[in-house]
Structure 1
Amino acid sequence: MYWNNRTFNSDFILLGIFDHSPTHTFLFTLVLAIFLVALMGNSAMVLLIRVDARLHTPMYILLSQLSLIDLMLICTTVPKMAFNYLSGRRTISLAGCGTQIFFYVSLLGVECFLLAAMSYDRYVAICQPLRYPILMSHKVCGLLAAASWLLGYSDGITVLVVALSFPYCGAREISHFFCDVPSMLTLSCTSTSDFERLMFTCCVVMLLLPVVIIIASYVRVILAVLRMGSGEGRRKAFATCSSHLMVVGMYYGAGMFIYMQPISHHSPTENKMVSAFYTILTPMLNPLIYSLRNREVARAFMKVLGKGKFGQRMG
């Protein structure tokens, strides 16, 4: 494997997404507000599901894993972007860039498989309710979650090792607000066509395979829901599944747009906008979508708030 000394001795420069014009200053402030909402929302979901025993079911365990992933994902990119913007420094070390690549790619992969596991959970709950305790036991749920993390981290390690094996030269300016692999590869001194084919193969596995599982699960779910005699049961099933499908549509649509196109077809502006959508906006929307459309989560949240108010009165 060819390693160029300049790759180790030189920092990269992140051109970012904002300048210091009034409009961009406002947008930067808005991004920070979104970051804080995502931070609080996902942290609250993880803690709420952990402390409320009624939410210790496979569905909510997987949901807590999704919130944990979103929490880690938004912390991978936004703090460094904010530091560079506020300090006026735009550099990032090779180690920092490698860390971003590893966590960013890994977490995207974990979320892909986790969303497929969540769709399987909904399929079993609605289409095989009597066998749910067996087909989706806590052990099976744990195995699905562990497999999602293992596959995601395997993808992250593979992409990291190959991406850092290329020699980078020139101005070393990454036209992005974090070390996004497609944007980095445009700086390579050598051909990256083999790596592009590897990335495409990884995307087929990490994106299309879970999508097939999700589509197959929800086709069966929709058919089962339409056959339901109870209007209340049908409404509850559609409410739960529609929340998941909203998240799936946002996440996979953006991921396929970025990673299933040849690098030569990428527009820096489009890349930054789409990446900002699913690395900043989606982590904020996920807990809102699930909590606002889920009575059990809302009820548990109100219960915690009620205990807090009661404790304050007693104090």
Structure 2
Amino acid sequence: MFIVQYGSTTLSQGIINKANITILENRVINNFLGTGRNKSVFEKYGLKDSDNQTSKISSHIPRHNINTFLAIAEISDHLQAMLMGRVDIEQNKHYQHLSIKQISQNASLASSNSQFQTSKELMAVSEPVQPAENNAKSPIDDILEYGLMLFSNDKDLENNLKNNLHTFDSTIEISNFIEQSMGDGYFEDIAKAFNEIAPTEPDKAKELIDTHAYLHPLPFGSCMRNIAAHGCPKRLSCQSGVSCVNFTVTGRMGELENLKLTKNRLIEQAKNLADNSEFTLRIKEQVQNLERFEQKIMVSYSNKIPVNIYKAIDTELSQPRALAELFSLEYEKIKANNQEEGKC
């Protein structure tokens, strides 16, 4: 039995299939997935979430999921970076979301401690529990500890996620984030210049933001100089509280805690110095600089909405629903079967 296209067996005439090739833009993908204005595939086929709301995702979410699957499958970091088209291997850890085992472990720990329900409670913790080693934490570490992210109503879902995790992939994304974050007080100089130019020359105002669209992540805060290409002439002295025009905070998770670790370390060092020595005065100035940035972050936190990223679950009674959870569960089964076969 042969199945062929109608008319394709006619040898006396030629068949030409003309295709209209169009550019698949990000806008088209988001419309298809439900974050645009057009009817989405979920709406067309009546696909809804557990809360009976029509599903929708942004074009960046599948990228997060793919990197999640790679991490669950224990693919090496350099291969993950190559597959995701990333230059900086360190960015992998921001995309490596929790597997079902990690969720249950962290949720069980979180359930025995009081969870932060509001951003004011998060701000109230002036001295968080110190880690065994006095090391700075990454955004994902802080998210796991508190079990939440802080979202702003002024930013879309993608910018909120990338701000919490500091996972901006291009200067275009950074430019959009800066433009949406001017009201947070983080980019005061740029915001002032932008507001002066925008009413009369909007194109030049946008160009101004694009020119400064660099956010190189540091233990706390970010550098708006392209130090990956040109280096830092001050040798990252901003991480000790020294004033720098290229330094800014972004309000990402873990940033406030890392800043406080540095501030407290400087205060302890100042106790061992003479009151009026040159070093003491310098440290006091650095502490004051850090306190100003600390205040900016706390004001920003007060205007954000805390969103819990997981709930304590009974893994024996609850069934995995998310795609990453199902993938993790199947991967654990495969590993267990392989281990059993290896023992035989």
TM-score w.r.t. length of structure 2:
0.24
- Larger of the two Rg values belongs to structure: 2
Bigger fraction of residues in helix: 1
TM-score w.r.t. length of structure 1:
0.26
